[in-house]
Amino acid sequence: MQKDDFVAAIEKVREGIGQYLEIMSMLPAVDVGTHKIIQKRFNHFYRIRQRPRDWYSEY
């Protein structure tokens, strides 16, 4: 791999790393069972979708 390949790979994952760090920083401070914002971000990041509403509350 060339330097340009490494730079391109880092740029490609930069957004995902930011999303992950945001989720992890919120975890100690919120109730994930009721906090809709963290649920939405978690579901988006891990690509969890199209589940029954009760599944989300249990998960």
Task: Name the residue with tokens 């599944």.
Answer: 55
Percentage of the chain beyond pLDDT 70 is 98
The per-residue DSSP string of 23-59 comes to HHHHGGGS-TTT-HHHHHHHHHHTT--S--HHHHHH-
What total number of domains does the chain contain? 1
For residue 13, what are the domain limits?
A: 3-58
pLDDT of residue 45: 92
Dump pLDDT digits (tens) for 44-55: 999 888 888 777
Residue 41: pLDDT band by 50, 70, 90 thresholds?
very high
Of 4 and 58, more confident = 4
Residue 18: pLDDT band by 50, 70, 90 thresholds?
very high
| Whole-number Å distance between alpha carbons of 35 and 57 | 10
Give 11's DSSP letter: H
